[in-house]
Amino acid sequence: MPSVDCDPTTARTRLENAGIDIQPGNTEYEHWRATHEAGNVVAYEDSVVVQGRNPATLLALIRESSGGRVHVYFDGASRGNPGPAAIGWVLVNSNGIVTEGGDTIKSTTNNRAEYAALTRGLEVATAHSFEKVDIRGDSELIIKQVRGEYQTNQPTLRERRIEVRQLLESFDEYTLEHVPREANSRADKLANKALDTAGWVHSMTDENTQTETDADTDAETTDPLPESVIERAVSLTHRAQETADSNATNAYESERDELLAEHEYRSRIRTSDDTLVLYPSTWIENGDLDFELIDDTSHAVERSLGGVDTDASWEHVEELNAEIVERIRENYANHHVKNIRAFADFMSNHYLKQVTDATSAERDEFITEYYPRNVWATETQAAALEESLALLDAVTEEQSGVEWKLYCVVNERLDLRCSTLIGDGVWKNPL
């Protein structure tokens, strides 16, 4: 319980000026007391004691305004990711530590805990009337998202970023810097101390606790990395390898790294067998993979970038996609043909799949990313894109008699065989 070096009368005046409601003391020794933001203050004869789970704002209001420049260190901790979470913050100026604290928050992910810690640190800096802040954190993702170097695609994290940017606008000057974990150890210890004090240990989970996740879902997360993210990372890596433009290569790799960073993962390519390896960022120490930090190898993900008989399988997929384009040509206007041809190129080259087998995520990627960058569409063609894609369903439903599609069977020798599905539902191998 910190005792503030301030006259009780002066402290009361400062709190009243800030709109804090002053209540009578509970005992004959208490002159008065007040509560604000999970903190409370009690005044005695010649001392003022501030306590509670979050006393930082009360301390700032009671003490004289600090002003000037301050360093804000922040860190968030989530045991389970998502799981029980806490935040820590430290404010330091030229005279030393101004204030610090740790607090538990609702069960959430590491990224949201980091944003909550940064928000709390900035709120405390505002309460102390600092005009300039230098923000320091060991989460590269959060620092670069707030600086605008990384996109913030997840809706809830985007809201957190907006909230932080609004707080920053109240300062005359601010900087944001990513620092090594050891430089942020005090904030880290405060966050973990809050969890320890609350009774959480690293191996505990609470199945009855409603968990806030970066996917805005209450469903339990079973996979360390969503399959959609893995597929996207593989696709971007393929594009980076295939393009001859170094700027395009860097753009694809940056997009992949930003996507993985949102899930606290990193990537590397194992050149011995051309495999993309995805692994948690927590396995990294001082920029290098530290094998002592690998707690569960099942959290790593591997995807081959080479495949088997790629040229042959691409030819089969392209042949089938070309046939679908021809069906569109026979029945619909030319702008629809051009759109489906572009979609066929995208699915054949990037996913080695028929257009009729595209997932909703792959369609969205085509519409929002591939189409604007790679298709020189007329206004009529662009306006009809959604309608063109809808025609694929119509073409599929209109088919009668022989129904066909690519059916690749990988045998023990990794040879590809192609079969045809005929109308009575029987698979026939023509080879």
d(CA 240, CA 417): 30
Strands 416-418 vs 408-410: parallel, antiparallel or unpaired: antiparallel
Phi, psi for 123 (deg, rounded to 5): -65, -40
Which token pair is 154? Answer: 């997840």
Asked if residue 25 lies in contact with residue 32, where contact means CB atoms within 8 angstroms, the answer is yes
- How far apart CA 105 and CA 82 sit, in angstroms, is 12
- Judge whether 23 and 9 are in contact, CB under 8 Å: no
pLDDT at 1 (0 to 100): 52
pTM equals 0.47
Q: Which residues pair with 285 in a beta bridge?
A: 288
Which residues have C-beta within 8 Å of that of residue 344, sequence separation ≥ 6? 318, 321, 322, 324, 325, 355
Residue 369 is classified by DSSP as: I
- How far is 295 from 278, CA to CA, in rounded Å? 15
d(CA 61, CA 348): 63
Question: Identity (one letter) of the amino acid at 93?
Answer: N
- Distance CA(308)–CA(335), nearest Å, equals 35
Range 54-70 burial, b when 16+ CB lie within 10 A, else e: bbbbbbbbbbeebeebb
Instruction: List, for residues 332-382, the tens digit of each pLDDT value.
Output: 999 999 999 999 988 877 777 888 888 888 888 889 888 887 888 899 999
Average pLDDT, 10 consecutive residues per value, the chain (431 residues): 75 86 90 86 89 74 75 91 88 88 88 94 90 94 89 80 94 94 93 85 42 41 68 87 82 89 87 84 73 68 66 69 90 92 85 82 86 86 92 65 36 36 39 35
* Residue 196 phi, psi dihedral angles, 5° rounding: -60, -45
Q: Which residue in 86, 77, 171 sits closest to 124, CA to CA? A: 171
Torsion, Cα 130 186 97 58, to 10 degrees, reads 60
Q: Which CATH superfamily is domain 69-197 in?
A: Ribonuclease H-like superfamily/Ribonuclease H (3.30.420.10)
**Torsion angle of C-alpha atoms 250, 256, 261, 267, degrees rounded to 10:** -90
Count of residues in the chain: 431
Please state, as a whole number, how many other Cβ atoms lie within 10 Å of the Cβ of residue 232.
18
Q: How far apart are CA 289 and CA 273, in angstroms?
A: 19
Of the options 3.40.50.300, 3.40.50.10540, 3.40.50.620, 3.30.310.10, the CATH number for the domain spanning 3-62: 3.30.310.10
What is the model's pLDDT at position 90? 95
Rounded Cα gap, residues 143 and 138, in angstroms: 8
